[in-house]
Structure 1
């Protein structure tokens, strides 16, 4: 039986009815709000800017420098061949080689495929720095800090190199975000995530452990609980230990690193002073971890430690501590945010962008911006040589040929015993000095590709055997200098 409806009299107020489904007007959470749009912009605008700047001139006019040539060639080896190589050399770059191996297996995109992971990594860094800046000092400071990232000359450079340094920056940025999360909210999951990201950064390049140390200093300066960070750091170091022990047996690969020169010290000093000056202009902090306590250790400590240890063992190379740019960008963004008017902020930002992109950015995208160019060397060898000519490298490093074997195919490599891939080495193996001396006189002309003066020499005796035989039985027909390489054609007397 249907219940009678309840009547509403004038003495009893009516109960307003509520729709079962909220109307459009009652669902403000489903519509973008200015606050939500601003939060998205802090990450998206820097990321899109970084992608645009990174893709600009990404091919660098078809140039390729020797470190990238190594990455390109090794990444095209089979998985077992890469493992064989890492047991002998370059274990510190192993994870990056496997990553690029997967990229090329999916897309044979040449130089773009080689460098695109670095472009995307800088975009992830810019987005993360923007979010960090918003969290530490506010949305405008975060947006400005994120936009600083792709404008820094160092970040522009390594966004377009097929090496691991930009990827380390991205992981360090998001590891820093997880550090803040753990320091402010705690929880095992947050600290476990922090440890996993930092371990990935260290496996991509071992010197990322210096960023881990900088994070420890941040925790101490912020007076947060040290124990959770220490546990995570211990786990990271334990996970890194096997790679560190293996790479220690391959330390001869960094024998080329010399003591820091005056320009290294000056660059570090100016950058550190700029960061400290910006720290004095920063706005008040928004959380328990202060901007200066986070940014200054990242900026100063990793590079400072490597420089301080140089008298014992020179290991300082600026790209090894590229992630210090995270701290610099955060400090510059916060300082720009303190300018008294919005017009001054816009003017200063546009001036900085023009300075970074117009003269400096164009130069960074030119072949001459790197210390060598294997494609230019290959063109010169092809122009200076003929079919049947002999070929020698002194020292025996064959980085010039790794990614550009075609121009050398018509030449007879007189010293080569086993190719790089077949021997499980970076540059292949050579025959004995005695066999080199026996092979060379049979050639009428020999093209010699050698490093210019100042590069590490050949301590095996093979280089001396090559040069002694050339001087004794051949004469110089012509020489050409191409970036860091010198190409000389030798011929038997009277055959130039």
Structure 2
């Protein structure tokens, strides 16, 4: 059986299990859905103003939809496949550094990490970033083992693609820099890495600078909480303990061909899996956490790729334990993976429900479809909840968007441009009946337009019904007679 078969099959099984999540789609995926349906010129127009950090991913998904049609499966399948690829690459990296057992253990460990399972089933870029960081790590080892211009170019290309999908992945490049400092290879290899890193950063620089101008998009991220800090500390501590307990060094039992390949150009005593995996696990998480002390930025999905380093260290620990109990790895490794899946079953079941995400635009659209009869207008508070109609326009047939002045595609935005408050009030006053789409929590009117909507509703209408489902509220208002 091929080395990667077990991890890949496990990743695919976990990724395909409950892929449609009870036919739900949360707000971030709704952004992917609506932008991927725009012409590429429309996407280019939008990212010049908003969401540039996801522009390349939107273009990829536009082509995916064009080739395979749009559905929840099509939306999420690229992430499933990317996760399987990441598990395969992690397996190969672990096997190269610490043998087949450690490699297979690492691939299986990556597949069962709850955060990896979560983003393997989302129509966003994070699983693809995970795959390209895993590829870049594999290519770094190949370039260190036998440096050529082509290998360094491949490494730079993988780093650049990951950065274009989400430039926070450049924290992996910083981790690779720590690896280089740890290994202390010869000058030629240091120069090759420096040139490759410079090329990747230069290629990503326009994206970084443009996204800096759109920094208000992440203003909603909360400051670091103790739970986040504790999660980072626990993950990094476990990784460090795995490195220490397992030794994480290139075992002398490996075939001479493989040991010679790794030794070449780097002193054997300094080559260890820990030198690659520990920085990759620790540097992105700690780096983003420290940056978040100045400006809140920390979200697990932004550093999901750090779990490649974590999995590599868990894999070498598993290999060490199997060696000590003298059990056959073909039995114990699958058994360990099965036990991990069973132990995490409550989390895995929850991740595959609609309630595992913030909200569900499809459920809200279904509520509108059932309740809109007799209404001729629709309002959204906040305006971003317009994504409900952008994903399911058929559910809003016959309803006029009372606040909209310019649509999302024409304006190059995600939610369109709304009219002035006075114009919104007048449009509301002229309607016969109105459907209001909001969040399930307390109704907040944080803008002058939203306050104008509520004033007009209070003055001219009475609420007839309210339904709440999966994080969104749909209310129907009828005119006061």
TM-score > 0.5, shorter chain as reference: yes
How many pairs align? Answer: 453
* Counterpart Cα distance in 1 of 2:374 and 2:58: 34
Q: Please, which of 337, 342, 347 is the counterpart of residue 360 of structure 1?
A: 347
**CA shift at 1:50, angstroms?**
1.3
Matched with 1:56 is 17
Q: Please, which of 422, 438, 453 is the counterpart of residue 466 of structure 1?
A: 453
* Counterpart Cα distance in 2 of 1:386 and 1:432: 28
Paired residue secondary structure (1:448) = strand
* Counterpart Cα distance in 1 of 2:428 and 2:338: 60
* Counterpart Cα distance in 1 of 2:415 and 2:335: 51
Return closer, same or farther for 1:476/1:201 CA change in 2, 3 Å cut-off: same
Kindly indicate whether the alpha-carbon contact (under 8 Å) linking 1:65 and 1:372 is maintained by their aligned counterparts in 2: yes
Q: Please, which of 449, 474, 477 is the counterpart of residue 487 of structure 1?
A: 474
Kindly indicate whether the alpha-carbon contact (under 8 Å) linking 1:387 and 1:410 is maintained by their aligned counterparts in 2: no
* Counterpart Cα distance in 2 of 1:453 and 1:462: 19
* Counterpart Cα distance in 2 of 1:456 and 1:470: 14
Kindly indicate whether the alpha-carbon contact (under 8 Å) linking 2:374 and 2:433 is maintained by their aligned counterparts in 1: no
* Counterpart Cα distance in 2 of 1:201 and 1:284: 27
**CA shift at 1:92, angstroms?**
0.7
Kindly indicate whether the alpha-carbon contact (under 8 Å) linking 1:67 and 1:399 is maintained by their aligned counterparts in 2: no
When normalised by structure 2's length, the TM-score is 0.90
* Counterpart Cα distance in 2 of 1:393 and 1:425: 16
Q: Which runs of 5+ in 1 are unaligned?
A: 1-36
Kindly indicate whether the alpha-carbon contact (under 8 Å) linking 1:148 and 1:333 is maintained by their aligned counterparts in 2: yes
Kindly indicate whether the alpha-carbon contact (under 8 Å) linking 1:256 and 1:456 is maintained by their aligned counterparts in 2: no
Matched with 1:8 is none
Matched with 2:398 is 410
Matched with 2:216 is 252
* Counterpart Cα distance in 2 of 1:455 and 1:134: 54
Kindly indicate whether the alpha-carbon contact (under 8 Å) linking 1:396 and 1:458 is maintained by their aligned counterparts in 2: no
* Counterpart Cα distance in 1 of 2:37 and 2:424: 30
**CA shift at 1:456, angstroms?**
9.0
Return closer, same or farther for 1:240/1:85 CA change in 2, 3 Å cut-off: same
Superposed CA RMSD in Å reads: 1.9
Q: Please, which of 368, 374, 395 is the counterpart of residue 381 of structure 1?
A: 368
Give 1:20-169 correspondences, 5 Å limit: 41-169=2-130
Kindly indicate whether the alpha-carbon contact (under 8 Å) linking 1:70 and 1:402 is maintained by their aligned counterparts in 2: no
**CA shift at 1:400, angstroms?**
2.2
* Counterpart Cα distance in 1 of 2:370 and 2:223: 37
Q: Which has the larger radius of gyration?
A: 1
Kindly indicate whether the alpha-carbon contact (under 8 Å) linking 2:224 and 2:293 is maintained by their aligned counterparts in 1: no
**CA shift at 1:285, angstroms?**
2.0
Return closer, same or farther for 1:109/1:444 CA change in 2, 3 Å cut-off: closer
* Counterpart Cα distance in 2 of 1:246 and 1:451: 30
Matched with 1:432 is 420
Q: Please, which of 305, 326, 331 is the counterpart of residue 313 of structure 2?
A: 331
* Counterpart Cα distance in 2 of 1:259 and 1:452: 23
Alignment pair present for 1:441 and 2:402: no
Q: Which runs of 5+ in 2 are unaligned?
A: 251-261, 263-267
Return closer, same or farther for 1:257/1:284 CA change in 2, 3 Å cut-off: closer
Matched with 1:31 is none
Mean CA deviation greater in 111-120 or 280-289: 280-289
Deviations, residues 313-348 of structure 1 (Å, cap 9, x unaligned):
111111011001101111111111111222765654
Matched with 2:275 is 293
